[in-house]
């Protein structure tokens, strides 16, 4: 029997209530959403109106690095030698510029832009990111800045900026000490902190500007800006101030430095003056020199080639890189070794006929005075610069003991002066000759070394440092140019003198013997002082020297007939006053005999005109 399924009847009342409930929930949800939307619209339209109005005008946020002011450089008396001058600069942000090169062509019609400007801009553009501002033209006149400002609306990404630019008020006189800054190149960019240089395209290239770059540069700052579509500042939102570089105070006496440049005048050479009591360099001139301001904004190819190709080598710092034969200025040091090693006494005499022969050898070594000096002891040999006497002295000493005394004074070594780029010179040894020339050392090499005419080479700074040590009877200090630093908080740090290993002799009176011989150069009637002039009012110990450029047998007879570039160099070393020296001097003049004359002018100026002495000290 089949069973019927039970039929369930719908409850319309229940279903209607269920549907109405769902509709109510959806309605409430829609009302909530509408309320949120209206609230958000009100917030954006009313509360955030200013911000979105700015955005609607295409304003944007930009973070601009702020360059620090480069530290200043002063002489020992507070005279500014390197400063910063405010200038107008036309700068470009490549990422913001529209039709960059077309814009530059149009700007050329408004202000002059040279090929050198373009070349420098291209070089810098390759080294920096496109959103970094790069100078297109520096040192705009006020008229040029005004002319561009009127048209600036036409050139997006181009702006006039006020910049500080390096300036050297004394130009050539301090160029080889201070050096100069220039635009950063690719090799320098790879070594520096790019963040700290993000607002600066310049870096120290040579001299103190390079050696103390870290101290002089300072620390970059930042400013967060709101700018409009044209790149113009709307307002500053935040900033971090830059920290200025440290200021340097040098040991240099500007008046003495200017005097050195003045007396060198049209000559090639160098003058170095050191305070032997502490190693402070009072003057260090190299001539010819150059104008460092040419390099600051980018030197033209023509100007640079003119400097590079000049026969006078104005870019060459002769004071620390010029390698010269030492000539007879070596003789006081050789005499000290002879006394200390007891190979000769101060009273022993020899007869000088004007020539010398080594025992068992027929080769003749000539004295500078072909008729000879007659009977000569040590003091007279120093005073008249008797070659024959020092030939015999060198033979007795041997090259090992000669090298020993020279090395103890620092000959042929770096002085480690605080400016870098220094050359060390050379003190020859048998091993050095074998390695360099592939030949053995002969006794003739030894005796020529004894008069400074062998392979000895020295820089003017090294020679000045050595005579400073002699003047202090063996007490030596490292030559240096920096005497103090002040930071951005104006806190001053004084640089102390650095003692070097002293030269110690067996008998202290040996110093007096040699120094008295150097005094006789100036005081004695037979002294070789004719270019130094008459005896001054202060005491001086000195020594002249001559360095042959070519052998006279290969040149025409008669000094005046020899082409200038083949004429002898002249040298002079000295210190004054003798008992309490205030200055040690080394002068080297190329192809001219005026070294002693120049040294006298430096001493007179510093000790007398500048009043560094009183009567009791003279």
Q: For residue range 154-194, what is the model confidence (pLDDT) as tens digits?
A: 888 888 888 889 999 999 999 999 999 998 888 888 888 88
Mean pLDDT of the chain: 88
Q: Work out the number of other CB atoms within 10 angstroms of the CB of residue 52.
A: 11
Span 214-224, average pLDDT: 91
Judged against a pLDDT cut of 60, whether residue 330 lies above it is answered with: yes
Span 600-610, average pLDDT: 93
Which tokens in the block code for residue 469?
A: 């040590």
pLDDT at 559 (0 to 100): 56
| 488: helix, strand or coil | coil
pLDDT at 367 (0 to 100): 94
Longest dimension (CA), the chain: 167
Which tokens in the block code for residue 134?
A: 């790069």
Measured in degrees and rounded to the nearest 5, phi and psi for residue 345 equal: -105, 165
pLDDT-derived band at 1, boundaries 50, 70, 90: very low
pLDDT-derived band at 488, boundaries 50, 70, 90: confident
pLDDT at 2 (0 to 100): 47
Element (H, E) at 459: none
Burial category of 593 from C-beta neighbours within 10 Å (exposed 0-12, middle 13-18, buried 19 and up)? middle
Q: Work out the number of other CB atoms within 10 angstroms of the CB of residue 176.
A: 28
Chain centroid to CA 224: 36
Span 144-150, average pLDDT: 88
Distance CA 204, CA 217 (A): 9
Distance CA 414, CA 478 (A): 10
Distance CA 504, CA 200 (A): 51
Distance CA 545, CA 151 (A): 66
Reply yes or no on whether 89 is catalytic. no
Distance CA 91, CA 134 (A): 5
pLDDT-derived band at 616, boundaries 50, 70, 90: low
Task: Quickly list DSSP for 255-310.
Answer: HHHHHHHHHHTT--EEEEEEETTTTEEEEEEEES---THHHHS---HHHHHHHHH-
% of the chain residues with pLDDT over 90 = 58
Task: Out of 46-50, 311-315, 472-476, pick the least confident.
Answer: 46-50
Burial category of 599 from C-beta neighbours within 10 Å (exposed 0-12, middle 13-18, buried 19 and up)? buried
Span 523-546, average pLDDT: 87
HEC secondary structure over 307-372 = HHHCCCCCCCCHHHHCCEECHHHHHHHHHHHHHHCCCCCCCCCEEECCEEECCCCCCEEECCCCCC
Element (H, E) at 563: none
* The Cα angle at residue 221 between residues 215 and 224, in degrees rounded to 5: 170
Residue 240 or 475, more confident: 475
pLDDT at 400 (0 to 100): 96
Q: Are 393 and 405 in contact (CB under 8 A)?
A: no
In DSSP terms, which residues pair with 240 in a beta bridge? Answer: 222
Distance CA 77, CA 60 (A): 50
Task: Out of 54-63, 188-197, 385-394, pick the least confident.
Answer: 54-63
Site of tokens 């609230």: 39
Distance CA 193, CA 242 (A): 15
Burial category of 4 from C-beta neighbours within 10 Å (exposed 0-12, middle 13-18, buried 19 and up)? exposed
Q: Rounded to whole angstroms, what are the CA distances from 484 to 153, 176, 544?
A: 48, 20, 35
| Active-site annotation holder among 254, 289, 328, 465 | 328
Residue 66 or 364, more confident: 364
Q: Are 248 and 215 in contact (CB under 8 A)?
A: yes
pLDDT at 54 (0 to 100): 55
Q: Cis (ω within 30 of 0) for the bond into 288?
A: yes
* The Cα angle at residue 548 between residues 544 and 554, in degrees rounded to 5: 150
Span 338-367, average pLDDT: 95
pLDDT at 615 (0 to 100): 54
Task: Out of 66-70, 74-78, 321-325, 380-384, pick the least confident.
Answer: 66-70
Residue 353 or 11, more confident: 353
% of the chain residues with pLDDT over 70 = 90
pLDDT at 160 (0 to 100): 87
Residues 6+ apart with CB under 8 A from 518: 332, 382, 383, 541, 542, 543, 574
Burial category of 262 from C-beta neighbours within 10 Å (exposed 0-12, middle 13-18, buried 19 and up)? middle
Distance CA 464, CA 274 (A): 7
pLDDT-derived band at 556, boundaries 50, 70, 90: very low
pLDDT at 135 (0 to 100): 85
Distance CA 41, CA 43 (A): 5
């Amino acid at each position: 029997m089949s069973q019927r399924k039970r039929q369930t009847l719908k409850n319309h009342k229940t279903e209607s209530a269920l549907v109405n409930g769902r509709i109510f929930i959806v309605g409430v949800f829609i009302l909530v959403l509408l309320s949120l939307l209206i609230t958000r619209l009100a917030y954006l339209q009313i509360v955030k109106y200013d911000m979105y109005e700015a955005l609607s005008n295409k304003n944007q946020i930009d973070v601009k690095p702020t360059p620090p002011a480069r530290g200043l450089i002063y002489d020992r008396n507070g005279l500014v030698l390197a400063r910063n001058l405010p200038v107008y600069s036309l700068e470009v942000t490549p990422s913001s510029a529209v039709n960059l090169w077309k814009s530059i062509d149009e700007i050329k019609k408004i202000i002059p832009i040279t090929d050198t400007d373009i070349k420098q801009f291209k070089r810098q553009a390759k080294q920096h990111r496109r959103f970094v501002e790069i100078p297109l033209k520096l040192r705009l006149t006020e008229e040029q800045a005004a002319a561009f400002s009127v048209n600036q609306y036409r050139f997006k990404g181009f702006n006039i900026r006020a910049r500080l630019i390096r300036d050297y008020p004394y130009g050539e006189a301090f160029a080889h000490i201070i050096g100069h800054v220039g635009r950063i190149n690719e090799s320098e960019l790879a070594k520096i902190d790019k963040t700290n240089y993000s607002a600066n395209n310049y870096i120290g290239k040579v001299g103190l500007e390079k050696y103390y770059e870290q101290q002089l540069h300072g620390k970059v700052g930042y400013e967060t800006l709101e700018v409009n579509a044209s790149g113009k500042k709307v307002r500053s939102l935040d900033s971090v101030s830059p920290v200025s570089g440290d200021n340097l105070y040098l040991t240099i006496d500007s008046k003495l430095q200017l005097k050195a440049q003045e007396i060198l005048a049209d000559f090639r050479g160098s003058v170095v003056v050191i305070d032997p009591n502490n190693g402070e360099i009072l003057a260090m001139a190299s001539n010819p020199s150059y104008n460092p301001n040419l390099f600051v904004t980018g030197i033209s190819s023509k100007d640079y080639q003119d400097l590079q190709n000049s026969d006078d080598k104005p870019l060459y710092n002769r004071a620390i890189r010029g390698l010269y034969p030492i000539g007879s200025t070596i003789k006081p040091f050789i005499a000290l070794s002879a006394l200390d090693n007891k190979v000769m006494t101060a009273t022993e005499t020899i007869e000088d006929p004007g020539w010398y022969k080594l025992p068992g050898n027929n080769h003749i070594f000539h004295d500078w005075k072909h008729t000879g000096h007659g009977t000569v002891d040590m003091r007279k040999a120093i005073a008249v610069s008797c070659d024959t006497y020092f030939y015999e002295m060198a033979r007795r000493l041997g090259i090992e003991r000669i090298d020993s005394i020279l090395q103890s004074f620092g000959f042929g070594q770096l002085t480690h002066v605080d400016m870098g780029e220094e050359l060390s010179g050379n003190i020859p040894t048998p091993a050095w000759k074998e390695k360099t020339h592939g030949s053995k050392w002969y006794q003739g090499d030894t005796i020529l070394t004894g008069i400074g005419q062998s392979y000895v080479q020295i820089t003017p700074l090294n020679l000045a440092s050595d005579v400073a040590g002699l003047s202090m009877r063996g007490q030596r200090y490292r030559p240096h140019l920096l005497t103090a630093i002040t930071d951005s908080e104006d806190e001053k740090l004084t640089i102390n003198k650095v003692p070097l290993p002293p030269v110690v002799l067996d008998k202290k009176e040996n110093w007096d013997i040699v120094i008295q011989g150097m005094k006789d150069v100036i005081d004695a009637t037979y002294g070789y002082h004719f270019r130094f002039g008459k005896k001054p009012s202060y005491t001086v110990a000195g020594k002249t020297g001559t360095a042959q450029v070519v052998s006279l047998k290969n040149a025409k007879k008669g000094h005046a007939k020899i082409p200038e570039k083949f004429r002898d160099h002249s040298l002079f070393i000295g210190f004054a006053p003798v008992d309490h020296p205030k200055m040690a001097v080394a002068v080297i003049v190329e192809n001219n005999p005026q070294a002693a004359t120049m040294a006298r002018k430096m001493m007179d100026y510093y000790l007398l005109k500048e009043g560094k002495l009183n009567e009791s000290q003279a």
